Amino acid sequence: MSLGKSVTLNNGLKMPLIGLGTYLSKPKEVEDAVAHALKIGYRHIDCARFYENEAEVGRGIKKSGVPREEIFITSKIWNNHRRPEYARAALEGMLKDLQVDYVDQLLIHWPIAFKPGDDMIPIDKATGKVIIDDYPISEAWKTYEQFLEEGKVKSIGVSNFNIKKLEKLLETAKVPPAANQVELHAYLQQPELVKYCQGKGIAVVAWAPLGNQASPLSIRDKVPSKRVIDDPKVKEISARVKADPAQVLLAWFTHKNIVAIPKSVTPSRIETNFKQIVLDAESIAEIDALEKNLRVDPPAWGVDIFDQGPEVMDPIEKDAIEARLAGKAGL
């Protein structure tokens, strides 16, 4: 399935260690990016209903000419489509947009449910807070298990779950999650979570692996996010091993058997990210030492996602999302 290395999931399916992320990719750009990535050897594409570009991803897959069975496609259902009827409609819309009969992996995007409906970030006008739905994760998981039985997905997993939430899910799950996709990079290494997941046979997938996700706070303040890829130590290692900084960081993930899904729409960058290198022990240790416990893209919804107390609700999160989704369908 992959022209590079892969990790074997707990159901025997192989997931390529390097994939193409599609978050914040504009429609025409993402179509061309997906097609180019697949043509040069990528076999893992990461998408989500929330990204609102799966139709373009589907066209990119078709344009590439790569057979469907060679491609590992991951997608996610958003928080407002947690209940069975909404989740099923989201899955059907996903398959239609991607022009496929199944996805290789379907994830619960966040461990929180919003008010069911077409509004992706439903806000209570009286309180200014996100409207939460108390629908249990355990019930949502049963729906995902049903999708698995129907053959519409080949594996099921979660995203942005901490150890506590994974333990709660495993208490009732008939099928354990195959993967947990989380923010993970040299500034946010989450070693305890990685150890827990890998010990349970749950593959770890890193989003924002280069630490350069555009966060609501950086957009508001008109300053760039703290980018791991720009760290002096990363640049030092890059010069020493004669490789691109992104290649250095992605090699760090591969060494730890963690899947990484860097996003790019630039052909040369897509190619660079796919050229895998191997780092020596010294370089691995130097990157390990960069840990800052720093999230570059916290959800900022004013709710408690990580069991560390409610995060501040940042108005720009709502404004930016509404502007981006203006005139687009909810599913």
* Binding-site residue ranges for substrate: 109
Annotated active-site residue in 23, 42, 51, 144: 51
Which positions make up the binding site? 109
Which of 121, 77, 52, 134 has its CA nearest to residue 301?
121
CA distance 227 to 212: 5
Nearest alpha carbon to residue 166 among 190, 206, 137: 137
Handedness of CA 257, 261, 262, 268 (dihedral sign): positive
Burial class of residue 278 (count of CB atoms within 10 Å of its CB; 0-12, 13-18, 19+): exposed
Give the start-end residues of each E strand in the chain. 6-8, 14-16, 20-21, 44-46, 72-77, 105-108, 113-114, 132-133, 156-159, 179-183, 203-207, 259-260
Does 135 qualify as catalytic in the annotation?
A: no
DSSP 198-262: HHTTPEEEEESTTS----HHHHHHT-----GGG-HHHHHHHHHHTS-HHHHHHHHHHHTT-EE--
Residues 6+ apart with CB under 8 A from 247: 238, 272, 273, 275, 276, 277
The DSSP-derived string for 155-171 is -EEEES--HHHHHHHHT
The rounded distance, in Å, linking the Cα atoms of 157 and 174 is: 13
Contact status, residue 175 vs residue 145, Cβ threshold 8 Å: yes
Q: What are phi and psi of 203, to 5 degrees?
A: -65, 140
**Distance of alpha carbon 74 from alpha carbon 179, whole angstroms:** 10
Query: What phi-psi label fits residue 156: left (phi over 0), alpha (psi between -120 and 50 degrees) or beta?
Result: beta
Active site residues: 51
